[in-house]
Chains A and B, each alone.
Chain A
């Protein structure tokens, strides 16, 4: 194995104008420029994108699975954040 393994990059692609970039996968490349070239060939062979972002995988900080409870459970009890929580009489019309 070469000690010189190309670093890993995470690839984000905007599928169409007006949409967010979305994570599509990762790939190896020596630098950002080459990562974009490789992403073009690996992830957009069938017009899947109009724009590419590349980020070194090492630069991504992810929440850990064990934090899932503390991070996301507080939102469970806050059903009033959804509009359907409130009953609006029909006479009032569309709201």
Chain B
């Protein structure tokens, strides 16, 4: 999802585990929270850094497709709301970076790995936002999918991560609702506006389904992460839940989900639906989506252009500290 294809380290059978590793696993099985200074297997620490880092990067890069429309929002109200939404995403990124830092990596190191391509962010943010309706679709579908993944993560085993998720989840509901509100307005507007809403749904539907990551049968890293409770549900479980939740919402809007195979399956108590094109997914992850270059380029430029500012404030702070010491 915001963390897709997170490679997990370890995967040991009980026989291969040391007594310390067994005691650790038992703490997790009892539902205890692991806190920063406590002993943890190296694989747990590394996998979490990867997952939380990718999650944080997604929040930060995720500001770009929406930021694209702040100056062109159709009304002052919509502009203020979108600005607040995008600012929340910056906050989410910061909560997650500082939670990740408790594992012994610095934020600058995480950013460096984003910038040099060693770490990923969610595939969804490599799609363009072409019209105002896309901003509706992003809030409704992308934040909707994010919520689906983040709500269970409030119970994740690593304390700082779980607490960051609690803060984030409190704020996400506003994001999804403002998106749906845009969609309602567009879908009940002129024929042209409704067509824009439909077009946004058409373009974002499958990329939103991809957010949950590959199908369980191809998802090699899930078992260890689930044993460690840094992943709570499987990709397919969450995807199914998302589809079942979203289909009635699309119906209310009078829009059509772009899937001929979509139908209610009484027996399983859920919808049958088409899988997204996984080749496209892997291409986007590998850097070949429509906006990968633009997104990463914008992040690197912001970082480089901001260097004089970060250094300047630091120099000022050091100077002021020296002056204070001298006066004491």
Contact = CB atoms under 8 A, between A and B. Distances in A.
Interface of A: 1-2, 4-6, 8, 25-28, 30-31, 34, 41-42, 45-46, 62, 64-65
B91 A6 contact: no
Given A25-B99, A45-B84, 18 more contacts: A1-B106, A1-B108, A2-B310, A4-B310, A25-B163, A26-B101, A27-B94, A28-B98, A30-B310, A31-B313, A34-B313, A42-B91, A42-B94, A45-B87, A45-B88, A46-B171, A65-B35, A65-B37
Interface in B123-147: none
11 contacts: A1-B111, A5-B108, A6-B314, A25-B164, A27-B94, A31-B317, A31-B320, A34-B313, A34-B317, A46-B171, A65-B38
B95 interface: yes
B264 interface: no
B interface secondary structure, majority:
helix
Interface residues of B, number: 32
A7 to B, nearest CB: 9
Interface string B86-105: 01100100110011010000
Interface in B104-127: 106-109, 111-112
B256 to A, nearest CB: 36
A32 B28 CA distance: 37
Q: Which of A30, A34, A64 has the most CB of B within 10 A?
A: A30
A28 B91 CA distance: 12
B37 A28 contact: no
Contacts of A31: 313, 316-317, 320-321
Contacts of B84: 45
A2 B108 CA distance: 7
Contacts of A64: 37
A26 B310 contact: no
B305 interface: no
B241 to A, nearest CB: 27
A8 B98 CA distance: 9
Contacts of B87: 41, 45
Contacts of B112: 1
A4 B314 contact: yes
B37 A27 contact: no
Contact of A30 (B35, B91, B316): B316
Nearest to A63: B37
A4 B107 CA distance: 12
